[in-house]
Amino acid sequence: MIVDEQKFVRKYTLIYTFIISFILLSPLYLYVDYRMNLQEIKKEMELKSIQSHIINTMDNFGNHPDKTFNFPSFTSTKSGLYKHNFSPVYTQIISELPSFTKGYFKTNSKRYLITALPFNKYFFANYLVTESEISFTHLFLEASFIAFGIILLILLLSFYILNSFSRPFKRVNEKLDDFIKESMHEINTPLSIINVNVDLFNEIHGKNKYFNRIKSATKLLATIYNDMDYLIKQNRVEYENETINLNTYLHDRILYFELIAQLKNISLSLESTVNVTIDFNTTKLQRLIDNTLSNAIKYSNKNTQVEVSLKKVDTGIELTFKDYGQGIKNPKKILERYYREDSYKSGFGIGMCIVKSIIDEEDIDLVIESELGEGSTFTYLFHSTMIVKMTDQNNGLHLQKLD
């Protein structure tokens, strides 16, 4: 009823793409690692081949102190002869050697092969060192193109499959929405007729306790109707903010629920130390107040009261609903959809879930305090950014929101 099919498809497309890509790219990682190790082996073999060529050249030159030996040079490789303490006899290498022991060494993009030479055989040198550059850029580019192709293919396939999969459910969802909308319209019409006729009867014949009960029942039905209507329109209708006097609005909603509270002999009170105007949406504010107030009355003990208070705090305005009822066993679960602590009470368990969605959207803080057998307190904090105008009713302090 409130599922956004496109959002669902996008969300799970990304999830499936991530999972499948992770599975498929793991072998790619192993392949890249294998190619890098293979390239390292090739580079080591290349350096050994170069050193073998240098040694053969020195062997062919022999011991001729009166002649000049032309040390072999290569385009991408540098070499040098070093004494036992690694002082150079002759070298083409400029950078500092990574080690003073024989073997194959890695330093950033440079690779070194250090080989021990026979004592005093080659120009009194003890070590032959060869340096070369190595690059994995082409390997990483190749792997990146493969990974990009895999991810893109999985993304497109996942989107297509999930979109096709969700199409029948989307049609069912649309039909269900149409059915609920028509049903809601059919419910609203008789409710309005009942309310009008009860009011006319009371004007003509005076108030009657039985008709008051009928009136209270229609108000409860109207609250459920408004919740269902909000759920249908949620995520599909853009609710625009307007300037609302919170004191007046609270007073009107309390008057609306007064007749319902009277059935349990519960008194409703409103205490306010400030007169505040906020920038908020009327529909969302009504759902927040009505659901909280309705629950407070529903779970209050008979012959008690529900206290509503409005006061200024440092960070904004606190709106508090306090009842003296059975309390809440699991305050954290009370905001979950369809959760009801007392299955014998009326309702569907969606009211406080709607409240949760509203306070999350509007960045309103909610603190729930409850004690079993004593009652519950719901405190909403409307931050100062929502306040348009505020007057302290005790000392006449006036605050105006600046644009």
Residue-wise pLDDT for 241-292, tens only, equals 999 999 999 999 999 899 889 888 999 999 998 999 999 999 999 999 999 9
Question: What is the spatial distance between Cα 80 and Cα 86, in angstroms, rounded to a whole number?
Answer: 10
Nearest Cα to Cα of residue 335 among 297, 375, 288: 288
pLDDT score recorded for residue 151: 85
Is residue 71 scored above 80 in pLDDT? yes
Say what the pLDDT of residue 36 is. 92
239-400: in CATH 3.30.565.10: yes
Question: d(Cα 255, Cα 269) in Å, to the nearest integer?
Answer: 10
Query: What percentage of the chain has pLDDT greater than the value 70?
Result: 84
Q: Quick check: 325 and 285 in contact, CB under 8 A?
A: no
Residues 195-217 as b/e (b if ≥16 CB within 10 A, e otherwise) read beebeeeeeeeeeeeebbebbbe
What pLDDT, on a 0 to 100 scale, did the predictor assign at position 68?
A: 84
Contact 274, 307 (CB under 8 A): no
- Phi, psi for residue 329 in degrees, rounded to 5: -75, -45
Which of 35-39, 193-197, 361-365 shows the lowest mean pLDDT across its residues?
Answer: 193-197
What was the pLDDT predicted at 317? 94
How far is it, in rounded angstroms, from Cα 182 to Cα 223? Answer: 18
Amino acid in the structure at residue 316: G
**pLDDT reading at 402 higher than 50:** no
Determine the average pLDDT of the residues in 42-63.
Answer: 92
Nearest-angstrom CA–CA distance, 300 and 261: 9
Copy the structure tokens of residue 321: 């609903």
Q: In the numeric block, which tokens belong to residue 231?
A: 């759920």
Length of the chain in terms of residues written? 403
Report whether 379 contacts 367 (CB < 8 A). yes
Which of the four pLDDT bands, split at 50, 70 and 90, describes residue 382? very high
Task: Specify the pLDDT at position 243.
Answer: 94
The string of DSSP codes covering 172-212 is HHHHHHHHHHHHHHHHHHHHHHHHHHHHHHHHHH---HHHH
**For 203-253, how does the pLDDT look when each residue is reduced to its tens digit (9 = 90+)?**
777 777 777 777 777 777 777 777 777 777 766 677 889 999 999 999 999
Average confidence (pLDDT) over 142-160: 85
Shortest CA distance to 122 belongs to which of 169, 81, 91, 163? 81
Q: How far apart are CA 102 and CA 91, in angstroms?
A: 17
Measured distance CA(125)–CA(114) in Å, rounded = 12
Q: Pick the range with the lowest mean pLDDT from 47-61, 175-189, 213-227.
A: 175-189
CA distance 89 to 59: 17
C-alpha–C-alpha distance, residues 373 and 67, integer Å: 109
State residue 344's pLDDT score. Answer: 44
Tell me the domain boundaries of the chain.
Answer: 5-138, 239-400
Q: How far is CA 338 from CA 89, 254, 343, 349, 379, in A?
A: 85, 25, 11, 4, 22
Task: Please provide the distance, in angstroms rounded to a whole number, between the alpha carbons at the two ends of the chain.
Answer: 38
Residue scoring higher pLDDT (275 or 155): 275
d(CA 176, CA 1): 7
Beta bridge partners of 269: 307
What global pTM score does this model have? 0.54
The secondary structure of residue 394, as a DSSP letter, is T
**pLDDT for 342:** 58
Q: What is the mean pLDDT of the chain?
A: 83
Give the Cβ contact number of residue 107 at 10 Å: 13
Cα–Cα distance between 376 and 316 in angstroms, integer?
22
Q: What is the mean pLDDT of residues 293-311?
A: 92
Band of residue 62 on the pLDDT scale cut at 50, 70, 90: confident
| Stretch among 84-93, 195-204, 278-287 having the lowest mean pLDDT | 195-204
Nearest to 143 by CA among 280, 249, 25, 243: 25
pLDDT at 6 over 50: yes
Task: Reply yes or no on whether the pLDDT at 2 is more than 50.
Answer: no
pLDDT at residue 58 is higher than 60: yes
SS3 of residue 77 by DSSP? strand
pLDDT at 126 over 80: yes
Beta bridge partners of 308: 270, 321
User: How far, in whole angstroms, is CA 65 from its chain's centroid?
Assistant: 78
* Packing angle, helices 246-262 and 209-233, rounded to 10: 130
| Residue 396: predicted pLDDT | 44
Identify the band that residue 90 occupies on the pLDDT scale cut at 50, 70 and 90: very high
Give the dihedral sign, CA 130/131/132/134: positive
Q: What is the pLDDT of residue 397?
A: 45
pLDDT at 112: 95
DSSP code, position 402: -
pLDDT tens readout for residues 323-374: 998 888 877 777 776 566 554 455 556 788 889 989 999 999 999 999 888 8
